[in-house]
Amino acid sequence: MRSRRRRAFSLIELLVVVAIIAILMGLLLAAIQKARDAANRVKCMNNLKQLGLAMHNYHDAQQTFPSGSPQEIGYLSPQVQLLPYLDQQNVSAQVDTNKGPFDAANLPAGAARPGTFLCPSDPNQGLTTAMGWTNYHANCGTWAYVNGWDGVYGPNYMVNSPSAVTPSGMGIPAVSNVRIEDIGDGTSNTAAFAEVLNGINDPLPPPSRLQDCFDFGAPPAKDLAAARGAFLGKDWKTAQVPWGGSWRYRGYPWSEGTVWRGWYNHLLPPNSTCWRPDDWWLLVSPASSAHYGGVNVLMCDGSVHFVSEHVSADAWIAAGSRNGGETETLP
C-alpha cells in the first residue's frame, strides 16, 4: 500500500493566516472603539442638553440665568445654582448659600458627583478627591482682559488684581445676571457651556497640553487678534505649570464659580493650550475634550453642537460674546 503523506501548513502559510487574523482583530477593535466613542459623545451631548434645560427652567423661575460667581452667596458656581433644576434637590438642600465652596458647611454637597457634570470620554473619570469635578464649564466670554466678562457668566463683583485692569487702571467690572433679552447676538449664536478636560490632580505626571494650564508671563496686547497670535505662538513644552507644577485642578471642584475652576473663554479655538498670564482672573482657558477633532458646545437656546477644533477663529470668538454684534456664526 502506498503511504499517504499529509500535507502540513508551511511556515509562510501560517504567517499569512496569523497576519489576516491580526488585521481582522485590528479592524474589529477599531470598530468597537469607534462605537464606544460615538456612544460617549452622545452621552456627553445629552448631559449638556440637561444643563440647557436647567438653565431655561432657572430663567423661567428667576427671570435671569444664574450668575457665574455671586459674591453674596460665596462665589458658588452656576452648577450649584442649577442643582434644583437638575433633579439634584437633595444635594442642593445641603448647600449653605452664605458660605463658599470650601467652607466646611458646603463640603458634603461639594463631595457629590452628579453624572450630568461628567463626560464619559474624559480620561480622568476616576480621580480620588474630596469633592467632585465637572467637564462642563460656563462661557465667560472672549477674554476678560480685553472685553470684560462679555459671555453669559462672570462675577457680579469688581475684580481687582495687579494684572487684571482696564486701560483706565480700574479692575474688570462686574457683570449682572444675564437675561435672555441681554443676549443681543441671539441665543442660537451664543455659547453657554462647553466641554473642558479635567486636570490631572497630581504633581508627578509630566505636563499634559490639554489637561494642564501653563504660565505665560506678562499678558500680551489688549487686542483679541494680537493676543490670540501670541498665545498660539507660545510653546507649552518650554513653560511651567503654575505654582511649580502643583496646580492641576481645572474642573475642581464643580461647586466653585471662577475662571480657573469652572469657566472657559473663546479667545483660542477648541483643544488649544490653557495659559495663565500672571493673573488667574486673566486665564485663557479654551474648551477641550477627548472626542476626536472637537468639542460639544451648549448654546443659549438649549441646542448642542459639535464644534471642530479647526473652526473659524472669528466664528468661535463671535460665539463667546453675548452682545458683540459679530456677523460670522458657527457652522
pLDDT digit string, tens, across residues 149-161 = 999 999 999 888 7
Distance, first Cα to last Cα, the chain: 80
Pairing of strands 213-215, 274-276: parallel
Of 233, 234, 214, 231, the closest CA to residue 223 belongs to 231
Mind listing the pLDDT tens digit for each residue in 3-39?
A: 555 566 677 777 888 888 888 777 777 666 666 777 8
Chain CA centroid to CA 248, Å:
14
Mind listing the pLDDT tens digit for each residue in 35-87?
A: 677 788 899 999 999 999 999 999 999 999 999 999 877 789 999 999 999 99
Evaluate whether 173 touches 155 at the Cβ level (below 8 Å): no
pLDDT confidence of residue 202 = 86
Q: What is the pTM of this model?
A: 0.89
The beta-strand segments (E) located in 105-247 are 136-139, 191-195, 213-215
pLDDT confidence of residue 16 = 81
pLDDT confidence of residue 9 = 64
Residue ranges in the chain modelled with pLDDT below 50: 1
pLDDT confidence of residue 166 = 59
Of 236, 51, 227, 231, the closest CA to residue 153 belongs to 51
Cell reading at 121: 470620554
Residue-range domain boundaries for the chain? 46-320
The span from the CA of 268 to the CA of 273, in Å, is 8
